[in-house]
Amino acid sequence: MNEIIDFLTKSQTFYVSTLSENNMPEVRPFGFVMEWNGKPAFSTGTFKKVYSQLQVNPNIAICAYIAETMQWMRISGKVKFADEIEAKRKILETMPMLKEMYESENNPVLACFYIDEGEAAFYSFNFMNEPLRVIKI
């Protein structure tokens, strides 16, 4: 799991895809990741479309790229939401700048979701068609 978190952190910006209300893919940049109960976890606000889209359809795809190594990672899976105050507290501890937006872990707008079932596949330009390795989530 550390390899997945490290890769997303090193990429700095990674792209999350969900399905819209019209069943069309929507992609947006993310920059926050942490580990929650052995799973990669992310933060969003309940007022954002990504939150409502994942409530309706929990399938997600993530793509991250590190230019220096010319490697990328694809994650696909299903998400669950962590409503525990401890998860929200860890978000604010991991990225203190989010306190400016959400103020505290008690803010009901702050949401944490994690990939519960899925896999991460790692690729390199040297081996474009086949992943170098796959990690089950």
Could you tell me the pTM of the whole model? Answer: 0.92
The average pLDDT across 13-20 equals 96
The one-character DSSP state at 97 is G
Structure tokens at 42: 């992310």
pLDDT single digits (tens) 63-83: 999 999 999 999 999 999 999
Q: Tell me, what CATH number does 66's domain have?
A: 2.30.110.10
Q: Does the pLDDT value for residue 18 go beyond 80?
A: yes
Which residues constitute the domain of residue 75?
2-136
Percent of the chain's residues with pLDDT above 70: 99
Domains in the chain, number: 1
As a whole number of angstroms, the distance between CA 36 and CA 80 comes to 11
As a whole number of angstroms, the distance between CA 64 and CA 30 comes to 10
Contact 111, 91 (CB under 8 A): no
CA torsion, ordered 89, 97, 112, 109, to nearest 10 deg: 90
Q: For residue 135, which amino acid is it?
A: I
As a whole number of angstroms, the distance between CA 46 and CA 107 comes to 10
